[in-house]
Amino acid sequence: MQKYFEKIKKWSKDNWPVWILLLISATVYHKWLSFGIFTNADYWFYFSETSRDFLRYSAWDSQTGLGAPNLFLWMLGYKLFPGFLGFFGFDSNISDKFLVFWPFAFLTPFFAYLFAKQVLKNNFGAFTAACVFSFNTYYLAINTQGHFSLSLAGTFAPLAMYFFWRYFDSNKKEHLIASALVCLIVSSYDFRVFYILFFILFVSPFWFLFAQNGLKQKKLFLKNNFSAMALFFGLIFIFNLFWILPTAMTGSLASNTIVARPLVDNNFSLDLEKTLTLFHPFWNGNEPKWFDDQKIPLYFWLIPIMVLLGAFWNKKNKKIIFWFFIAIIAVFLSKQNADPLKNAYIWLHQNFPGFNAFREASKFYFAIALSYAILIGAFVKYIFEKFNSKLSYGVFIAVVLIFLWNAKPILIGEMNSIFIPQKIANDEIKIRDYVFSQDGSFRTLWVPSDSKWASYSAFRPKINAIETRRSDWKKIKDYADLQGGEPDGEEKNQLFFSENFATRLFSQSAVRYLLVNNQNYFMIENLVANPMWEKNDLKLENLQFFENQATRSRMYLTENIETIHRDNSFQPVDYNYENSSRWNFTIENSVNPVWINFSEKYHPDWQLVCGNFKWYDIFSEKSYLLPQKNHFQTDAGLNSFFINPSEIKEKCVAENNGKIALSFFYHPQAYLYLGGIISLTAVFISFIILVFWREEGHNDKVAQENEK
């Protein structure tokens, strides 16, 4: 034990800048050190009932709207901890401190320092690099809008690079395993950052191969590292198989609502000048003014000058020059479709695999920040090695202050947004308490849009009225040609809620409650005139709360296929919720054909199976699946299955009470389980290897060859 304490003591002494960096972060982000609620723009608060669902991870997302395929399966690693805390009743203001705010504040400079020190071998250069990476205007600006998934993925990316590059110094494969595990963390926060990081990692060994002197050295390098690189990239694939497999098997890997979005017409005002200077287009030295293009302060032009000097002065250092080329590519991509070669980004967006996830190019600022950090750190390193005088310290302080000055508005309170603790509105507390006391599974409809304080779960989802009207309910009646702007869509919403099918639509969609703010009451006035809607007086200040007396259960039986254009008699069924991808229920062993209606958005991958169906049966026992030809989409856009008693009795065994157990199963869940087992097994084995296995017979000669 004493040996480890001595190592820690020595490391702390040798890396003294780390403690200064942590002190700076604690000072700048001191408001985040409490367990208060910090929320703004795209970063919302959620109650424990929402996060508890994360423990029942599902390929189908039922928490909002009418449900949809879960296109964020890669976030499993990020969601497990909030799910665990939610199980014990803790809301997101607790979990996000450990997963978001504190890691960004303290781990971002720490990991950036580690990687820069690995490359530069210089404390002052590494300290400078950490400041460049942690306090650039890109991260500070997007954090005000709650885009923490991008920030936190960027936080862990340097750590992945640190372990990856250590392999080429040590030739120990354990560093590659560690890097692959950190890459899994990066992808759990934001797959777009991981996408960029993956290509940087992928080209790194080719650069090292290119940097070898002579054909003989190149062959030796290739021989010594080919299997290691195959191991590394193989592990990355296997670690991510839990989401790749279900997404690919449903045809959503290359085509889904995320990557299918069209290219934004550069509403971020991106251009070559801003990307060269690492300047966020909306940064103004105060609270950023979004979509209000700002002028670049003159001193920001010192940044590309230092980058060029850092590269020029270290042109013989192949590791540093590598980051110069990464910087050139990142600067070019980040300008999006601005001059020069403005059509290049458009072509990549339309043709290069995965690039269509970048509907605007500011995400590539991450690569600029990482490469600039190394190059500006190399600039400072050269100053110290060349002059080693008071001038060196003066330059060092000046460079660091250029980036620390960006944190001034946070430190003195000029920037509020995400840095001011908030309180939950009283109305939402009353609503949550009331809804929590009710029985059954149902939806709550928020008009025109939901609140960031809304209580919801997969068992009791929320519906954003305007978003659902413009998507799932657009097929029922499209108001696109009607004059009247969005996003509030006041006139369009009013007409939609006045349609004679509105109450039936909401009832079939299991909408039990409707909430509207006072100023938008006119939108639903005609709807709630229907006697089926009853106002519930919860003594709310700014909201009105209505209950639908005609609502259906999440699943029910009808004699005819359901429709929103006439009243159908219905019969509820007994059911239980296993997870969002499986709902179990029982029906009477009747002789008459019936329709079983399921109030989730229609998707052909929803299947009706016998109650004793196991997820792995989908790979072999097709007899457990009832015919898909009996699966229909209602005019409300929901699922309806025609049940033929003879087919049911032939495949499913009746219970002693004469009832037949059935289930709705979203079949990509089976691939999620299969991929999850493979990925978790690989992760577990990798951890065991890191803890207990130490490589012996380390080839110093190979390490020296790789270092050249």
> CA-CA-CA-CA torsion for 632, 668, 196, 112, nearest 10 degrees?
130
Per-residue pLDDT, averaged over 150-168, amounts to 97
pLDDT band of residue 700 (cuts 50, 70, 90) is very low
Q: How many domains does the chain have?
A: 3
In a domain, 9, yes or no: no
pLDDT in tens, 386-436: 987 788 999 999 999 999 999 999 999 999 899 999 999 999 999 999 998
Per-residue pLDDT, averaged over 445-464, amounts to 95
Distances in Å between the alpha carbon of 206 and those of 222, 277, 331, 497?
Answer: 9, 28, 21, 60
The predicted pLDDT at position 534 comes to 97
Q: 291 and 371: one domain?
A: yes
Question: Distance (Å, rounded) from C-alpha 238 to C-alpha 221?
Answer: 26
**Closest to 417 measured CA to CA, from 94, 143, 152, 26:** 143
Lowest mean pLDDT among 90-94, 121-125, 275-279, 585-589: 585-589
Q: 223 and 317: one domain?
A: yes
For residue 278, the enclosing domain spans: 40-419+685-700
Residue 172: is its pLDDT beyond 70? yes
Domain boundary residue, one of 548, 566, 595: 548
pLDDT in tens, 605-649: 999 999 999 999 988 877 788 889 999 999 999 999 999 888 888
Q: 300 and 259: one domain?
A: yes
Q: Which structure tokens are listed for 506?
A: 């909401």
Q: Which structure tokens are listed for 461?
A: 């989802």
In a domain, 137, yes or no: yes
Residue 481: is its pLDDT beyond 80? no
pLDDT in tens, 649-684: 888 888 777 788 999 999 999 999 999 999 999 999
In a domain, 2, yes or no: no
Q: 542 and 559: one domain?
A: no
Task: Write down the residue that tokens 């695999």 correspond to.
Answer: 353
Q: 248 and 377: one domain?
A: yes
Domain boundary residue, one of 496, 522, 548: 548
Q: pLDDT above 70 covers what percent of the chain?
A: 96
pLDDT in tens, 493-522: 999 999 999 999 999 999 999 999 999 999
Q: 538 and 566: one domain?
A: no
pLDDT band of residue 485 (cuts 50, 70, 90) is low
In terms of pTM, does the model score above 0.75?
A: yes
Residue 131: is its pLDDT beyond 90? yes
Lowest mean pLDDT among 236-245, 539-548, 611-620: 611-620
Per-residue pLDDT, averaged over 554-575, amounts to 94
Strand-pair category, 555-558 with 594-601: antiparallel
pLDDT band of residue 259 (cuts 50, 70, 90) is low
Q: 637 and 658: one domain?
A: yes
Bond preceding residue 487 cis, omega within 30 of 0? yes
**Closest to 192 measured CA to CA, from 259, 138, 241:** 259
Per-residue pLDDT, averaged over 325-353, amounts to 94
Residue 702: is its pLDDT beyond 50? no
The predicted pLDDT at position 698 comes to 47
Q: Which structure tokens are listed for 640?
A: 């309806």
In a domain, 451, yes or no: yes
Question: Distance (Å, rounded) from C-alpha 160 to C-alpha 230?
Answer: 17
In a domain, 676, yes or no: no
Average pLDDT, the chain: 92
The secondary structure of 377-426, three-state, reads: HHHHHHHHHHCCCHHHHHHHHHHHHHHHHHHHHHHCCCCCHHHCCECCCH
Judged by DSSP in three states, 561 sits in coil
Q: What is the CA radius of gyration of the chain?
A: 29
Q: 617 and 528: one domain?
A: no
Bond preceding residue 246 cis, omega within 30 of 0? no
Q: 601 and 659: one domain?
A: yes
Q: 336 and 382: one domain?
A: yes
Q: 559 and 542: one domain?
A: no
pLDDT band of residue 487 (cuts 50, 70, 90) is low
Handedness of CA 45, 47, 52, 58 (dihedral sign): negative
Q: Which residue has the higher pLDDT, 128 or 479?
A: 128
Q: In sequence order, what are the residues at sequence separation of 6 or more whose Cβ sits closer than 8 angstroms to the Cβ of residue 277?
A: 296, 300, 301, 303, 304
Per-residue pLDDT, averaged over 456-481, amounts to 92
Task: Write the DSSP assignment of 634-699 as a string of letters.
Answer: -TTSEEEEEE-HHHHHHHS-B-TTSEEEEEEEETHHHHHHHHHHHHHHHHHHHHHHHHH----S--
The predicted pLDDT at position 263 comes to 84
The predicted pLDDT at position 255 comes to 54
User: Is the Cβ–Cβ distance between 183 and 194 less than 8 Å?
Assistant: yes
Q: Which structure tokens are listed for 58?
A: 């599902």
Lowest mean pLDDT among 24-28, 77-81, 137-141, 151-155: 77-81
In a domain, 708, yes or no: no
pLDDT band of residue 366 (cuts 50, 70, 90) is very high
Judged by DSSP in three states, 531 sits in coil
In a domain, 342, yes or no: yes
* Range 11-41 burial, b when 16+ CB lie within 10 A, else e: eeeebebbeebbebbeebbebbeeeebbbbe
The predicted pLDDT at position 279 comes to 97
Q: 579 and 658: one domain?
A: yes
In a domain, 407, yes or no: yes
Question: Distance (Å, rounded) from C-alpha 62 to C-alpha 148?
Answer: 23
Q: Which residue has the higher pLDDT, 245 or 486?
A: 245
E-only strand ranges, 25-125: 60-61, 68-69
The predicted pLDDT at position 256 comes to 59
Task: Write down the residue that tokens 């008699």 correspond to.
Answer: 569
Residue 697: is its pLDDT beyond 50? no
Q: pLDDT above 90 covers what percent of the chain?
A: 80
Question: Distance (Å, rounded) from C-alpha 187 to C-alpha 558?
Answer: 45
pLDDT band of residue 705 (cuts 50, 70, 90) is very low
Lowest mean pLDDT among 89-98, 164-173, 582-591, 624-633: 582-591
